[in-house]
Structure 1
Amino acid sequence: MGKIRVGFGYDVHQLKEGYDFWLGGIQVPHEKGAVGHSDADVLIHVICDALLGAANMRDIGFHFSDTDPQYKGIDSKILLKDVMLLIREQGYEVGNIDTTICLQLPKVNPHIPEMKKCLAEVMGIDENDISIKATTTEKLGFVGRQEGVSAYCAVLIEKK
C-alpha cells in the first residue's frame, strides 16, 4: 500500500441575482447565482482545496489567483482538471471524496446524480468515489438568509 493522505476544503460564495449558479460542474436553475472571480462553483473549489491540501500543495488561490485576469470567469471544471494533473504528477490518485453543500435554496438533491457524473468525468475517477450531500442551515446565518452558499470537502488520496 502506498502513502495515504487526507485533505480538507471549505469555501463560501455570495449569492446574488443576475448570476448563473454553477454547482458541481453543472448549471443549477435558480434566481440567484454565486459571485466570484471564476464561475464561483463552490463545490469544485472545495474539492480542489482538499486535493491540494492532501498533497501538501497549498490551495486553489495559490495556483489560480483571483487577481489573475486569465482566470476571470473561467469554468471551474478546467481548474479541477488542472488540480488532478498536479496531484497525479506527484504520484497521487483519489481514494474518495466526501462533500457537503450548505444551501437554503434551491434544493440540491435532484441535481446530485448529474453533479457526480460530471465531476467523475472531469477527474477521471469512478462516480462511486464521490459523495455529495446537501443541508440547509434551518434558516440561520448567511446561508439561511440565502445570502450565500458554503461547502465542505474531505478527500483521501494515495501515492501509487
Structure 2
Amino acid sequence: MKSFYSFVLIFGILLSNALALTPEEKHEAEKKILDECKGSVGATNNDVNSILERKTPTEYKGKCLLKCAHEKIGLIQDGKFSIDSFKAFGEKELGNDMKAVGVFNEMLDACKSITDPDLCEASAKMMDCMIKEGLKRGVDPKKGIKESIASN
C-alpha cells in the first residue's frame, strides 16, 4: 500500500532504506516497526491494523503505539516533534516532485504547532492534523500525496 501517510508512521525506516522499496515492502516495513512497538505499549493487532489503514488511533494504547514508532524513527526528539526530520522525510519520500513537496510542506506548516505534554496524545493529534490538512488539499490518505495530486 503506497501512501503518503506512511511518513506519519514509519519515517525512519523509510528514510533509511525505503526509497527503493515497493509499496508492499513499505507496508511490511511499517508493520514490522509497529509490531516491535506493540508489546511495549500493550497495543493489539487491531491497533496496528488501524494505523496501517491510516486511521488516527482513538484508544490510548494505539496513540502510544504511534508515539513509539515516532520515537524509534527519530521524529520525536527532546520530548517534541522534530519538524526538520519531518521535512527531510517529505523531501526524500517525494523526491523531485516539487508540487508534492510543496503540498507536504503546506500540510506540515499547518500542523507544526501541535503540542501536548503527553506524547501519546501529541502523536495522535499530529496524525489527525496531517490527515485533515491533506484532505483539504485533495490528498487521499490511502492513495498518497503523489498519486492524489496526479489524479487531480
Higher strand share: 1
Larger Rg: 1
TM value normalised by structure 1: 0.31
Higher helix share: 2
Tell which has more relative contact order, 1 or 2 (C-alpha 8 A, sep 6+): 1
